[in-house]
């Protein structure tokens, strides 16, 4: 079930959004670690759970990704919300044709990084993707591997839509996070997953009745006065 929780993902250089229920910070891309510590420190000050994501850059080898992640997080501490592999084109505006020419594109390097993180932490990272990025990058993933992904890690889907649910991909029966709006990137939360990672379920949203405006009260009194004059 979707909750009223809101998780925001952040990148160094963007303003910190106060008041969210959790934060997921970009920790790196390819073989480069980003400046994530200050944003995580702000999340800790607010007492909110945090996690990290790493963009899989098809211009760099999976081995360089694994080495960079392990160097940045030797103890495998990715926060309560965990580590997520960001599956998308590495450069904004890159064409599908340009992606096809990258030396480490498509699903096999992603699988290698996914297994490499688990090998030293004991936990598989989650996967972040949109319908378009999945269709471009993961289309050839064998069904058996898609089933394994769904069994061993959560799905975080980005789909900006007014529909009640996003267009899922892969073999997941449900999403754990749904990025439904950008600028900043707001994410809805699946309550079952939230409880699985040890976070408290929020109380149901109580919507108070709309108050009667002063203007309406004045109009009501005026109508009553007019009706009294007619009698």
pLDDT in tens, 67-110: 999 999 999 999 999 999 999 999 999 999 999 999 999 999 99
Give which of 185, 192, 203 is closest to 10, Cα–Cα.
185
H helices of 10-101, in order, are 37-45, 62-72, 96-100
For residue 112, give the 3-state DSSP assignment.
Answer: helix
Asked if residue 213 has pLDDT above 90, the reply is no
pLDDT, mean of residues 207-227:
51
Q: What gap in Å lies between CA 73 and CA 66, rounded to an integer?
A: 10
Nearest 5°: the CA angle 135, 136, 138 is: 70
Q: Where are the domains of the chain?
A: 2-230
Between strands 2-10 and 177-181, the pairing is unpaired
pTM: 0.85
Q: Which two tokens stand for residue 58?
A: 């098809």
Strands (E), the chain: 2-10, 22-29, 32-33, 50-55, 82-86, 126-129, 155-158, 177-181, 185-190
The superfamily in CATH containing domain 2-230 is: Glycosidases (3.20.20.80)
Stretch among 110-114, 166-170, 176-180, 216-220 having the lowest mean pLDDT:
216-220
pLDDT per residue as tens digits for the range 108-142 = 999 999 999 999 999 999 999 999 999 999 999 99
């Amino acid at each position: 079930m979707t909750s009223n929780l809101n998780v925001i993902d952040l990148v160094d250089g963007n303003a910190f959004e106060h008041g969210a229920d959790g934060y997921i910070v970009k920790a790196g891309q390819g073989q480069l670690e980003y400046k994530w510590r200050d944003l995580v420190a702000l999340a800790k000050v607010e007492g909110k759970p945090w996690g990290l994501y790493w963009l899989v850059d098809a211009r760099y080898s999976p081995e360089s990704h694994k080495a960079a992640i392990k160097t940045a997080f030797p103890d495998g501490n990715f926060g309560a919300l965990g580590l997520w592999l960001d599956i998308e084109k590495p450069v904004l505006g890159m064409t599908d044709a340009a992606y096809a020419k990258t030396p480490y594109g498509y699903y096999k390097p992603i699988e290698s990084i996914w297994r490499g993180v688990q090998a030293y932490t004991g936990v598989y990272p989650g996967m972040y993707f949109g319908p378009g990025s999945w269709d471009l990058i993961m289309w050839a993933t064998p069904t058996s591997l898609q089933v394994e992904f769904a069994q061993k890690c959560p799905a975080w889907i980005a789909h900006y839509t007014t529909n009640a649910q996003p267009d899922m991909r892969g073999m997941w029966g449900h999403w754990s996070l749904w990025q439904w709006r950008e600028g900043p990137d707001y994410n809805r939360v699946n309550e079952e997953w939230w409880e699985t990672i040890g976070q408290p379920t929020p109380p149901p949203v109580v919507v108070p009745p709309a108050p009667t405006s002063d203007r309406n009260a004045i109009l009501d009194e005026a109508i009553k006065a007019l009706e009294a004059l007619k009698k």
